[in-house]
Amino acid sequence: MVPKTYRYVVRTISAAGSGEATATSGVGDGDDVATGHKKKLRVAYQGMPGAYSEAAALTAYPTCDPCPCDQFENAFEATEQWTADRAVLPFENSLGGSIHRNYDLILQHRLHIVGEVYFKVRHCLLALPGQSKEKIKRAQSHPQALSQCDGYLTALGVVKEAVDDTAGAAAAIAAAGQMGVAAVASRRAAELYGMEVLEEDIQDDKSNVTRFLALAREPVLPRPGIPYKTSIAFSMKEESGSLFKALACFALRDINLTKVESRPMRWNPVTQQDNKTMQFSYLFYVDFEASMADENAQNALRQLQEKATFLRVLGSYPADDSRL
């Protein structure tokens, strides 16, 4: 049986273009509904000041008040419980792939995707002043950052140690006065915590980009003249051609898909039908280029809903069309 947290669907598909949503803002906006004046948004992110997530939050909302959170879960909870107005969290990286924890969490919380930011990550090797690279024996950072610099760190011959946050690694090394230990973090983290940049752009691929999603309690209203994306999650009955039939709902309407990913369901991971071998039941994540106000998109989702065993719209939001 599907838990209640997974049954929650963002608005009915038929109401998507009716203007029933109460949201008044998307990425970059901060209207106070009561007064009509701009307010300074509180934006939750995972990590400490100097984390890449903080920089992404400020890119999405330049005048916001960034609110650091220890874990991804805390950022979701802060937004859901009105401690923060938005959360900006990483969901995909061009080197490390999807951040599956956040894809799981978005299904467990009643938040909507309201925007996206593609952020170019530039990792630096930081250490306390007065050291050379040759003196470094250990490197600490978030697991994603370590994986993105794996080739560089392996060639350097250091022991890689995973911690909760890139900037947190720099802060901890500085606080403890640890020599011979480096952090993989941002240049801003070096400035904040009195570290020295031993080398910049140490990621294995110089085109290292992370896709951050902005989350809010209410969805955003579609605005004309702006490219939109819509993100959904769905599951299908286990039968031949089921995924083909699901994706055909979009292909037949000439709707372009920008992401397709499958993961075993958390609530019903293994099935066995008609004395067949055991297999995983899969949940599919799909992003497509259209807003929920688009009649083609509404019809595609209606058709998909007829075939799917589970369907949830995670958000319809302005696409990031900026240049990196």
pLDDT in tens, the chain (324 residues): 333 433 334 343 434 433 333 333 345 555 433 334 467 899 999 999 999 999 999 999 999 999 999 999 999 999 999 999 999 999 998 888 899 999 999 999 999 999 999 999 999 999 999 999 999 999 999 998 999 999 999 999 999 999 989 999 999 999 999 999 999 999 999 999 999 999 999 999 888 899 999 999 999 988 888 999 999 999 998 888 999 999 999 999 999 999 999 988 776 655 555 666 656 688 999 999 999 999 999 999 999 999 999 999 999 999 998 776
User: Alpha-carbon distance 298 to 318, whole Å?
Assistant: 17
Q: Determine the Cα–Cα distance for residues 313 and 117; give it in Å rounded to an integer.
A: 19
Class in CATH terms, 228-318? alpha beta
Verdict on whether the full-model pTM lies above 0.85: no
Helix ranges (H only) for the chain are: 4-7, 52-60, 72-80, 100-108, 143-148, 150-156, 166-176, 187-193, 242-251, 295-307
Label residue 268 exposed, middle or buried (CB < 10 Å: 0-12, 13-18, 19+): middle
pLDDT at 8: 38
Instruction: Give the model's pLDDT for residue 26.
Output: 41
**Which pLDDT does position 58 carry in this prediction?**
96
Per CATH, the number for 30-121+209-216 is 3.40.190.10
The single residue listed with the structure tokens 């220890």 is 70
Provide the terminal-to-terminal Cα distance of the chain, rounded to the nearest Å: 44
Q: What are phi and psi of 169, to 5 degrees?
A: -65, -45
pLDDT for residue 51: 95
| Three-class secondary structure of residue 224 per DSSP | coil
Kindly report the number of other CB atoms within 10 A of residue 260's CB atom: 13
Least Cα distance to 295 among 218, 222, 233 occurs for 222
**What is the architecture of the domain spanning 124-200?**
3-Layer(aba) Sandwich (3.40)
Is 276 buried (19+), middle (13-18) or exposed (0-12) by CB count in 10 A?
A: exposed
Spell out the residues 6+ positions from residue 43 whose beta carbon is closer than 8 angstroms to its own.
Answer: 57, 60, 61, 64, 65, 66, 67, 84, 85, 86, 87, 88
CA distance 280 to 239: 13
284: tokens are 């599919």
Catalytic residue set: 210, 212
Residue found by looking up tokens 């990792």 in the block: 123
Please say whether the beta carbons of 88 and 212 come within 8 A: yes
Domain positions in the chain: 30-121+209-216, 124-200, 228-318
Same fold, 124-200 and 228-318: no
pLDDT at res. 178: 96
Rounded Cα–Cα distance for residues 29 and 126 (Å):
35
How many CB atoms are closer than 10 A to CB 45?
30
CB 250 within 8 A of CB 308: no
For the chain, how many residues are written? Answer: 324
